[in-house]
Structure 1
């Protein structure tokens, strides 16, 4: 069977399995195993287990469960609540300030947790009901949280950047720095659209009630300031981790281990989480997400190996490389491919399967690999707020079940266009992603 036909059958089989609700890891692994057995015979079963486990045997992958544990400690504590309250103190009284404070809270919580679903859930539980109570449109209230949550895979420390670094053998520290300014740029674009959307809807909602007594206002200010003080230690830990990585003091795995321990200790000390139950929940959530991601990585590696064995990868890469087109047209084709892949697959799976294939093509077209990592990640962010997978959309639906899914989707789509605009800006001004890494790494 020729590689093109094999590729079509493999992709169709994968889509059928996902359409009937098969978990991503099992769909990838099952299709890969079936393709290898059909191509090489039953003897391939002997090597399947060895290949599966060797794909996640890299020491660099230790950083993933450690960063996830760090994020679980933050997400399971009242840090999101305190962060929201402290930002609402400074921004909530200005027109549209509550929505802006939600996006700001998402940006900071994304850096603390490194998880898009955790960010959407933690900030959305507080922000969506409050925005609706103050008169913000349902679409804006849901959309800004869904979009703000996507920043969790871009703003450092990011698990997806670790996976990209290991898959392409690029510097994880440099990848983290490359994602910082684009993450802030996206947050700024989200804020700008939120203000415009509120104005088009006929108002910004009402700030905190003006009839509140003076002593009540003072109490609120004092409470919110105390909330800010409780958040600061976590921000210091994340800043220390990034400094250790950028300064070459520690490897990503070492920094992640230290960060996980310190955030867990802070959650216990700051929020007095001494009981066994909350600690058990933190460990359970971290274990569940770590196993899920590692299973997807292993299965995606097997899937990529199967595609290579059937010469599908080489055929696709050769076809792309043979396109005698302008390099920006080539980049447009790659972006379209990543966008479609992100609609159906989680970011980790897309990166593991495609990054090693696309990197040589990117380098041959004279694009910066760290700039491309940011562009790739933003493409995958779009997939988190667009159907059919749209993980963040369903998280928001779970938080606010009385908001129609259609309203959540329509409220989120303009933010997806903001991300497309972000990619365009990165194409015109690649220094947004490359300037800071060049500045810091050249002096480290």
Structure 2
């Protein structure tokens, strides 16, 4: 059978299996086993355990559970509420200061936790009721938190970037640095739209919310600064040549646990057990997907599907930007239905040779791919962040949350366009800190 036709059949059956309700990892294993048996015979299944466990034989994978523990420790405390309150006290006299403080709190909490749903829940519980009380439109209140939560997979340390680095054998340190400036750019675009939307609504009452004394502003900082110091310490240890990403993640996880215990009095054995239990569950889920994706990639390669797709695209006489546009459309559609980790593990090994052959930087592409995944987090039918916000504020309809999120989707599209025009936004910082890539 023609490998391209076979690839189309694999894609259709994979979509059907994943939509049947089975987990992503189990679905990938089912599809892989099915096609290996049909085309290579039952003996091909003997290799599956070796490939499955061999994919996990990677020291860099240790950073995933460590960063997840780091995020879970923070998410289990009042750190999100304190971040929100601190920024609110410092920005209260700035026009639209409350929405800016919410987006700023989302960016900082996302950087500390690396979890989009956790960011939405932690900041949204405080921010949405306060914004609505002060007259902000429901769409701005809900949409800004939903969009702000997506920053967790872009601003370092990012589990998504770690997964991309492992899947494509790309430097995780460079990927982390590449996400810094695009992440700040997205925060700026989100803030610009929120301020414009607030001004356009004509609700002058939302522009001012009283004032705080200097003592009130300073007294909350001791609760926030240790977490910010951990972020800076993690990045310094990683880029200062002190430790590897895995070692840095382990130290960061330990420090976050200690701070959660000391500052937030998280001494209860049940609370600590909950952190470790939830972190283990999420880590196993991600690692299982990574292992299953390894088997799926082997099946595609064994049937010459990956090679044929790359060869076919290489023969297309199209402008490389038309090709990149098609790749972006594919990523957007995939992100609407699948979690970011699954999309990266399934698509990155296939797309990487295509985009490098077309002359695109794989580090730059990682940022573009991640922003596409962010769009998927606030877009139906999956749109995880939309449902998290709806759970926090059930009296705000899902339609209102969606409509409030759409302008932020436009901001992300603008960010992708800016990255295409000025790729240095993603590549300048890694090249400056770590030197030009070889």
Q: Judge same fold: TM > 0.5, yes or no.
A: yes
Q: Which moved more, 1:345-354 or 1:102-111?
A: 345-354
The CA distance in 1 between the partners of 2:240 and 2:267, in whole Å, is 34
Task: Please name the residue that 1:332 is paired with.
Answer: 325
Q: Judging changes above 3 Å, is the alpha-carbon distance between structure 1 residues 204 and 74 closer, same or farther for their aligned structure 2 residues?
A: farther
Kindly indicate whether the alpha-carbon contact (under 8 Å) linking 2:110 and 2:152 is maintained by their aligned counterparts in 1: yes
Kindly indicate whether the alpha-carbon contact (under 8 Å) linking 2:154 and 2:161 is maintained by their aligned counterparts in 1: yes
The CA distance in 1 between the partners of 2:92 and 2:53, in whole Å, is 50
Kindly indicate whether the alpha-carbon contact (under 8 Å) linking 1:343 and 1:389 is maintained by their aligned counterparts in 2: yes
> How many Å apart are 1:209 and its aligned residue?
5.8
Task: Please name the residue that 1:402 is paired with.
Answer: 395
> How many Å apart are 1:193 and its aligned residue?
0.8
Kindly indicate whether the alpha-carbon contact (under 8 Å) linking 1:96 and 1:204 is maintained by their aligned counterparts in 2: no
Q: Could you give the per-residue CA deviations for residues 10-49 of structure 1, whole angstroms, max 9, x where no partner exists?
A: 2222222333322222222222222222222222332222
Kindly indicate whether the alpha-carbon contact (under 8 Å) linking 2:110 and 2:155 is maintained by their aligned counterparts in 1: yes
SS at match of 2:220: helix
> How many Å apart are 1:7 and its aligned residue?
2.3
Kindly indicate whether the alpha-carbon contact (under 8 Å) linking 1:136 and 1:204 is maintained by their aligned counterparts in 2: no
> How many Å apart are 1:135 and its aligned residue?
1.5
The CA distance in 2 between the partners of 1:346 and 1:19, in whole Å, is 13
Kindly indicate whether the alpha-carbon contact (under 8 Å) linking 2:237 and 2:248 is maintained by their aligned counterparts in 1: yes
The CA distance in 2 between the partners of 1:390 and 1:403, in whole Å, is 16
Q: Could you give the per-residue CA deviations for residues 343-392 of structure 1, whole angstroms, max 9, x where no partner exists?
A: 12211112122222222222222222211111111111111111122111
Does 2:16 match 1:28?
no
Choose from 267, 270, 273 the match for 1:280. 273
The CA distance in 1 between the partners of 2:215 and 2:47, in whole Å, is 62
Does 2:38 match 1:45?
no
Structure 1 residues not aligned, in runs of 5+: none
Does 2:240 match 1:247?
yes
SS at match of 2:370: helix
Task: Please name the residue that 1:342 is paired with.
Answer: 335
- TM-score, normalised via structure 1 length: 0.94
Kindly indicate whether the alpha-carbon contact (under 8 Å) linking 1:82 and 1:224 is maintained by their aligned counterparts in 2: no
> How many Å apart are 1:199 and its aligned residue?
2.3
Task: Please name the residue that 2:159 is paired with.
Answer: 159
SS at match of 1:206: helix
> How many Å apart are 1:204 and its aligned residue?
5.6
Does 2:425 match 1:428?
no
Pairing of 1:258-297 with structure 2 (within 5 A):
258-297=251-290
Q: Which moved more, 1:331-340 or 1:357-366?
A: 357-366
The CA distance in 1 between the partners of 2:128 and 2:294, in whole Å, is 38
> How many Å apart are 1:4 and its aligned residue?
3.0
Q: Judging changes above 3 Å, is the alpha-carbon distance between structure 1 residues 56 and 132 closer, same or farther for their aligned structure 2 residues?
A: same
SS at match of 2:206: coil
Kindly indicate whether the alpha-carbon contact (under 8 Å) linking 1:29 and 1:299 is maintained by their aligned counterparts in 2: yes
Q: Judging changes above 3 Å, is the alpha-carbon distance between structure 1 residues 23 and 201 closer, same or farther for their aligned structure 2 residues?
A: farther
Task: Please name the residue that 1:77 is paired with.
Answer: 77
Structure 2 residues not aligned, in runs of 5+: none
Which consecutive aligned stretches of 4+ in structure 1 deviate over 6 angstroms post-superposition?
Answer: none
Pairing of 1:173-192 with structure 2 (within 5 A):
173-192=173-192
> How many Å apart are 1:418 and its aligned residue?
0.5
SS at match of 1:57: coil
Q: Judging changes above 3 Å, is the alpha-carbon distance between structure 1 residues 209 and 248 closer, same or farther for their aligned structure 2 residues?
A: closer
Kindly indicate whether the alpha-carbon contact (under 8 Å) linking 1:89 and 1:224 is maintained by their aligned counterparts in 2: yes
Q: Could you give the per-residue CA deviations for residues 54-94 of structure 1, whole angstroms, max 9, x where no partner exists?
A: 11221110000000000111111111010000001112333
> How many Å apart are 1:237 and its aligned residue?
1.0
The CA distance in 2 between the partners of 1:116 and 1:278, in whole Å, is 21
Q: Could you give the per-residue CA deviations for residues 275-326 of structure 1, whole angstroms, max 9, x where no partner exists?
A: 1121111112211211111112112222222222222222221222211222
Kindly indicate whether the alpha-carbon contact (under 8 Å) linking 2:90 and 2:217 is maintained by their aligned counterparts in 1: no
Residues matched between the structures, number: 437
Kindly indicate whether the alpha-carbon contact (under 8 Å) linking 1:64 and 1:290 is maintained by their aligned counterparts in 2: yes
Kindly indicate whether the alpha-carbon contact (under 8 Å) linking 1:245 and 1:255 is maintained by their aligned counterparts in 2: yes
Kindly indicate whether the alpha-carbon contact (under 8 Å) linking 1:147 and 1:412 is maintained by their aligned counterparts in 2: yes
The CA distance in 1 between the partners of 2:71 and 2:302, in whole Å, is 37
